[in-house]
């Protein structure tokens, strides 16, 4: 049962651990319903601790304590105190080294929260970040306690032929009764959140990698037998990441073995446990007929992310959980760099910013807004957020922009050199950047402690007589919970200039040599910059490459946006012009809908899109993004009061109107790029699929016999999952006569492939077509739906509540009541996943009064539910605060 007054943890209260654990010797006697854990901990009083407390308190939850020994002597009940969350040893030794032996048992099969040791299918596996290790044995479960681990696993040979843990395999043997054992030893000290264990009936795919110093590393991916043919891409992605980290950051892998295990039941995407990464199957398994191009790209990105953590997270880890962005923001930035280098930098940057603005900006603008280094939390699992990860990555990217690539690399080298083997803070990271480059980044540090998305107001004044353009920038960050009157931030604003012919105009600033683009360092609340030597007033290309996570406030005409869409040399800003152009057209139509006026399409957007369609493009993936309309969540973020129905109607009107006027262009482009190919994962093939499927979705809005036959032919003839899913999506989101037949055919074809069936659920749950809510309720009872499987929950409940605004926000509140029902039911099984489902309700203040009252009521209902978890309570209560 939840504590009526759950404890809030504050950054300001941090103190060093009272004890250190130098060595950990773990012995597991594994069983799915009864596992016995024997932990031998070699401890010492921390000489840096100033606490007068002479007790040793270890964290522990859901453990059955069997016995405790101190230096070989069994302790009796009066010498320790056991509670639901801790084990306290009275009069613990204050001098010298001592050994504490703890024996306890756990039930992995009953662990539906998937924290600690749990069962997934027929295997046993662990998830210890953030505080799961305390569900395995009693421990100082905090990241600044770093220990060397030796782990011995004992199990039945038939049930668990594969026994894995961190580090290197050092011993193994046979036991009576068809049992065996394996010992693993990790030579590097690590916090317990990086501990991992896997036992099961698994097949291994193996390869080799030779490091830059000539060492040979064994690479192993473990999966269930039926997934062996879906690992090639993951293995190649791992080798690509290892080589890239050596070339770009000079980081070489440090063990002789690197292992990945794919697990079907997992709360997260993956986990960087030292030497033994545990992955959600979604981010390992891929075959062209079962995985889309997007799946392939995400797999490479997540494989890279977890590998890069070996240095930015494992070798140098975070001192406390408030510093989570130290490892996650930095590593997200590294995986974004990697993915951009592997494919299209332009496309990768646009995809990252699109997600950031649609989702993280909403988090910043709502009741759950927090800095990338939070000041307080009730449940740490709730701070694995877009702010900590994605905005944290943008803060690291700004350092890269301010210092330049060479300066940033110098700062990283110093950071790793100084802090290898340590648990440190975000300030330590910034200090390394400062010291390596001789820069004062005191003001920049405010990004770590200040919540909210800054707004930049931009003004321009051109003096024809002097040929000078004065740029005035004003920054303001709106109030967020607990933070008002915020001081100015240090914001890098990258700009370029275009003359009236669309050519690059050189920038002359402060007597510096002329350049094609420059970074304006905004440090004041209001600041002006004078650009000289201009024969005419140029068009300014603002915030190139999205050089800072801010909202730029300025008025641009549709004609000016069309000009930038045609000529801007910055690939991000060219796409941004397309989004703003379409966004303004849609916004005008929303106003028409609200006023009951007849809808007509502004010809400016037709002309702009016609020009795009008549050009030749080398990067077809980028071209497809230029043609894509802003999604409904982004459009909603631009409104003071969100009108979900008007947004959907206006966007669909623009999409269908463009399809009608540009039908010949879309059809030509589709036919030029349509090939029944098996799914090669290269830039050319990916680009062809993206552009032809963009055209298909436009054409499907026409709902003519020709467009319907086009999508049906592609569905029936698709030789890869990208084309099959794109055509099925076009069918499901239109009045296609074969809709139900295609859905049934798809299910029959892929019913044995869990990840594909996740797509089937998500596609139906996110459909904007009438009747979707009834379909979602029906799917909840489908034999393939499993509330215990996080991937399946996300594919149905998550897709409906977070990717289907027009139906989730139905005026009768049915979507809200549905979500509350699922959250309450899910909370009994998996509080962590349940809490993440609640976030669909956190923006209730952005809607009309009627919807506000409905959302508030279901949030209150969730809070008032008896025995609701602290995970869900914190998210729901903060949403209402």
DSSP conformation letters of 597-638: PPP---HHHHHHHHHHHHS--S-HHHHHHHHSPPPHHHHHHT
Distant-in-sequence, close-in-space partners of 674: CB < 8 Å, separation ≥ 6: 688, 692, 714
Distance CA 196, CA 259 (A): 11
pLDDT digits (tens, 9 = 90+) for 282-318: 999 999 999 999 999 999 999 999 999 999 999 999 9
pLDDT single digits (tens) 704-743: 999 999 999 999 999 999 999 999 999 999 999 999 999 9
Residue among 608, 597, 593 at smallest CA distance from 639:
593
Per-domain boundaries in the chain: 19-201, 316-449
Does the structure show a pLDDT above 80 at 679? no
Residue 511 has pLDDT above 90, yes or no: no
CB atoms within 10 A of CB 23: 15
pLDDT digits (tens, 9 = 90+) for 11-26: 999 999 999 999 999 9
Distance CA 807, CA 769 (A): 9
Give CA–CA dist 760/758, Å, rounded. Answer: 5
Residue 4 pLDDT more than 70? no
The per-residue pLDDT for 245 is 98
CATH architecture of 19-201: Sandwich (2.60)
Upstream peptide bond of 130 is cis (omega within 30 degrees of 0): yes
| Angle between helix 705-717 and helix 683-700 axes, rounded to 10 deg | 140
Assess whether pLDDT exceeds 80 at residue 2: no
Taking CA atoms, 440 is separated from 407, 409, 435, 443, in Å, by 13, 17, 9, 8
Whether the pLDDT of residue 798 is over 50: the answer is yes
Q: Using an 8 Å Cβ cutoff, are 598 and 592 in contact?
A: yes
Distance CA 691, CA 689 (A): 6
Of the residues 306, 351, 363, 632, only one is catalytic, namely 306
Does residue 488 register a pLDDT over 80? yes
- 3-state SS, one letter per residue, for 32-66: CCCEEEEEEEEEEECCCCCCCCCCEEEECCCCEEE
pLDDT, tens digit, for every residue of 625-665?
999 999 999 999 999 999 999 999 999 999 999 999 999 99
Q: How far is CA 486 from CA 450, 455, 457, 530, 669, in A?
A: 8, 12, 16, 27, 50
Mean pLDDT across 88-101? 96
Those residues with Cβ within 8 angstroms of residue 203's Cβ, 6 or more apart along the chain or in another chain: 222, 223, 224, 225, 228
> Which residue reads 């790209």 in tokens?
297
**In angstroms, rounded to a whole number, what is the distance separating the alpha carbons of residues 859 and 819?**
10
Asked if residue 347 lies in contact with residue 620, where contact means CB atoms within 8 angstroms, the answer is no
Q: Are 496 and 544 in contact (CB under 8 A)?
A: yes
Model confidence at 1, in pLDDT bands (50, 70, 90)? very low
Q: Is 735 exposed, middle or buried (0-12, 13-18, 19+ CB in 10 A)?
A: exposed
Q: What is the pLDDT of residues 734-791, one digit of tens each?
A: 999 999 999 999 999 999 999 999 999 999 999 999 999 999 999 999 999 999 999 9
328: closest CA among 387, 259, 378, 401?
387
Please give the C-alpha separations between residue 807 and each of 583, 617, 767, in angstroms, as whole numbers. Answer: 22, 37, 9
Provide the 3-class DSSP secondary structure of residue 691: helix
306 is catalytic: yes
The DSSP annotation for 158-181 comes to: TT--EEEESSEEEEEEEETTTEEE
What are the phi and psi torsion angles at 849 (to 5°)?
-55, -40
Pairwise CA distance, residues 543 & 491, whole Å: 10
Fold (CATH) for 316-449: Neutral Protease; domain 2 (1.10.390)
User: Please, which pLDDT band fits residue 6 given cuts at 50, 70 and 90?
Assistant: confident
pLDDT tens sequence across 26-74: 999 999 999 999 999 999 999 999 999 999 999 999 999 999 999 999 9
Percentage of the residues of the chain whose pLDDT score is greater than 90: 98
pLDDT digits (tens, 9 = 90+) for 380-431: 999 999 999 999 999 999 999 999 999 999 999 999 999 999 999 999 999 9
Strands 270-271 and 257-263: unpaired
Task: Taking each helix axis as running N to C, give the angle between helix 324-342 and helix 293-308, from 0 to 180 degrees, rounded to the nearest 10.
Answer: 130
Residues in the chain: 881
Averaged pLDDT for residues 266-287: 97
Q: How many C-beta atoms lie closer than 10 Å to residue 640's C-beta?
A: 5
d(CA 521, CA 492): 5
3 band by pLDDT with thresholds 50, 70 and 90 = low
Could you give the CA distance from residue 487 to residue 490 in angstroms, rounded to a whole number? 10
Cα-trace Rg, the chain: 28
HEC letters along 281-328: HHHCCCCCCCCCHHHHHHHHHHHHHHHHCCCECCCEEECCHHHHHHHH
Query: In 124-272, which residue ranges form alpha helices assigned H by DSSP?
Result: 232-249
Q: Give phi and psi for 441, each to the nearest 5.
A: -110, 25
Cα separation, 543 vs 502, whole angstroms: 18
Q: Which token pair is 4?
A: 């009526």
Distances (CA, A) of 243 to 283, 311, 333, 682: 20, 14, 17, 19
Residue 81 confidence class, pLDDT cut points 50, 70, 90:
very high
pLDDT tens, residue by residue, 174-200: 999 999 999 999 999 999 999 999 999
Sign for the CA dihedral angle at 354, 358, 359, 360 comes to positive
Are the CB atoms for 388 and 365 separated by under 8 Å?
A: no
CA distance 551 to 572: 15
Residues 147-160 have a mean pLDDT of: 98
CA distances from 70 to 18, 53, 58, 82, 90 (A): 17, 18, 14, 16, 11
């Amino acid at each position: 049962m939840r504590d009526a007054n759950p404890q809030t943890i504050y950054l300001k209260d941090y103190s060093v651990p009272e004890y250190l654990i130098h060595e950990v010797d773990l012995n597991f006697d594994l069983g799915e319903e009864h596992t016995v854990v024997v932990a031998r901990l070699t401890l010492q009083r921390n000489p840096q601790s100033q606490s007068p407390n002479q007790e040793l308190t270890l964290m522990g939850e859901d453990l059955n304590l069997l016995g405790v020994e101190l230096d070989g002597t069994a302790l009796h009940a009066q010498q320790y105190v056991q509670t639901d969350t801790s084990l306290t040893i009275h009069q613990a030794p204050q001098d010298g080294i001592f050994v504490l032996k703890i024996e306890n048992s756990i039930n992995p099969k009953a662990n539906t929260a998937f924290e600690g040791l749990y069962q997934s299918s027929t295997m046993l596996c662990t998830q210890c970040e953030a505080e799961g290790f305390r569900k395995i044995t009693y421990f100082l479960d905090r990241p600044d306690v770093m220990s060397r681990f030796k782990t011995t696993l004992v199990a039945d040979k038939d049930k668990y032929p594969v026994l894995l843990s961190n580090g290197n395999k050092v011993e193994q043997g046979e036991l009576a009764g068809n049992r065996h054992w394996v010992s693993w030893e990790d030579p590097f000290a690590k916090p317990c959140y990086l501990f991992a264990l896997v036992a099961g009936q698994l097949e291994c795919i193996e390869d080799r990698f030779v490091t830059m110093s000539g060492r040979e590393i064994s690479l192993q991916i473990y999966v269930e037998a039926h997934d062996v043919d879906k690992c090639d891409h993951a293995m190649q992605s791992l080798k690509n990441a290892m080589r890239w980290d050596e070339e770009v950051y000079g980081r070489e892998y440090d063990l002789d073995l690197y292992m990945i295990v794919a697990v079907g039941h997992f709360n997260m995407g993956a986990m960087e446990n030292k030497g033994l990464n545990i992955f959600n199957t979604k981010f390992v398994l891929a075959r062209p007929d079962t995985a889309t191009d997007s799946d392939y790209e995400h797999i490479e990105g997540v494989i890279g992310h977890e590998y890069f953590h070996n240095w930015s997270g494992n070798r140098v880890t975070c001192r406390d959980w408030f510093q989570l962005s130290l490892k996650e923001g930095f590593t997200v930035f590294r995986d974004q760099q990697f993915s951009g280098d592997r494919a299209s930098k332009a496309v990768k940057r646009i995809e990252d910013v699109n997600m950031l603005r649609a989702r993280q900006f909403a988090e910043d603008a709502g009741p759950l807004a927090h800095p990338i280094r939070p000041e307080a939390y009730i449940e740490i699992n709730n701070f694995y957020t877009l702010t900590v990860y994605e905005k944290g990555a943008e803060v690291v990217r700004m350092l890269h922009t301010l210092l330049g690539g060479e300066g940033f690399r110098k700062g990283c080298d110093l950071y790793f050199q100084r802090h290898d083997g340590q648990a440190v803070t975000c300030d330590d990271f910034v200090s390394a950047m400062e010291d390596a480059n001789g820069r004062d980044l005191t003001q920049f540090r405010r990004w770590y402690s200040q919540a909210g998305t800054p707004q930049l107001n931009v003004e321009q004044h051109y003096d024809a007589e002097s040929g000078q353009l004065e740029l005035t920038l004003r920054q303001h960050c709106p109030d967020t919970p607990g933070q008002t009157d915020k001081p100015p931030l240090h914001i890098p604003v990258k700009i370029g200039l275009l003359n009236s012919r669309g050519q690059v105009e050189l920038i002359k600033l402060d007597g510096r040599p002329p350049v094609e683009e420059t970074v304006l360092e905004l440090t004041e609340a209001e600041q002006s910059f004078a650009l000289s030597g201009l024969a005419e007033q140029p068009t300014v290309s603002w915030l190139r490459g999205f050089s800072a996570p801010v909202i730029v406030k300025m008025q641009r005409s549709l004609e000016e946006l069309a000009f930038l869409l045609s000529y801007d040399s910055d690939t991000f800003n060219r796409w941004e012009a397309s989004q703003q152009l379409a966004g303004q057209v849609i916004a005008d139509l929303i106003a028409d809908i609200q006023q009951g006026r007849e809808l007509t399409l502004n010809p400016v957007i037709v002309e702009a899109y016609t020009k795009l369609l008549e050009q030749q493009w080398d990067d077809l993936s980028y071209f497809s993004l230029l043609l894509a309309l802003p999604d409904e969540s982004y459009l909603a973020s631009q409104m003071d009061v969100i009108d979900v129905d008007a947004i959907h109607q206006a966007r669909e009107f623009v999409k269908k109107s463009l399809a009608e006027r540009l039908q010949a262009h879309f059809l030509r482009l589709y036919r030029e790029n349509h090939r029944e190919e098996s799914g090669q994962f290269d830039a050319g093939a990916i680009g062809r699929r993206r552009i032809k499927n963009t055209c298909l979705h436009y054409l499907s809005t026409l709902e003519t016999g020709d467009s319907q036959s086009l999508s049906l032919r592609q569905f029936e003839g698709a030789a890869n999952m990208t084309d099959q899913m794109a055509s099925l999506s076009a069918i499901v989101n239109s009045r296609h006569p074969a809709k139900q037949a295609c859905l049934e055919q798809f299910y029959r074809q892929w019913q044995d492939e869990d990840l594909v069936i996740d797509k089937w659920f998500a596609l139906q749950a996110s459909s904007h077509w009438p009747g979707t809510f009834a379909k979602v309720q029906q799917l909840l009872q489908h034999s393939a739906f499993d509330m215990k499987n996080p991937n399946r929950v996300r594919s149905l409940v998550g897709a409906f509540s977070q990717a289907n605004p027009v139906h989730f926000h139905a005026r009768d509140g049915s979507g809200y009541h549905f979500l509350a029902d699922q959250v309450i039911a899910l909370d009994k099984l998996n509080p962590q996943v349940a809490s993440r489902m609640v976030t669909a309700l956190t923006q209730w203040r952005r809607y009309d009064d009627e919807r506000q009252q409905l959302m508030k009521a279901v949030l209150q209902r969730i809070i008032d539910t008896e025995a609701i978890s602290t995970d869900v309570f914190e998210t729901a209560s903060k949403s209402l605060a």
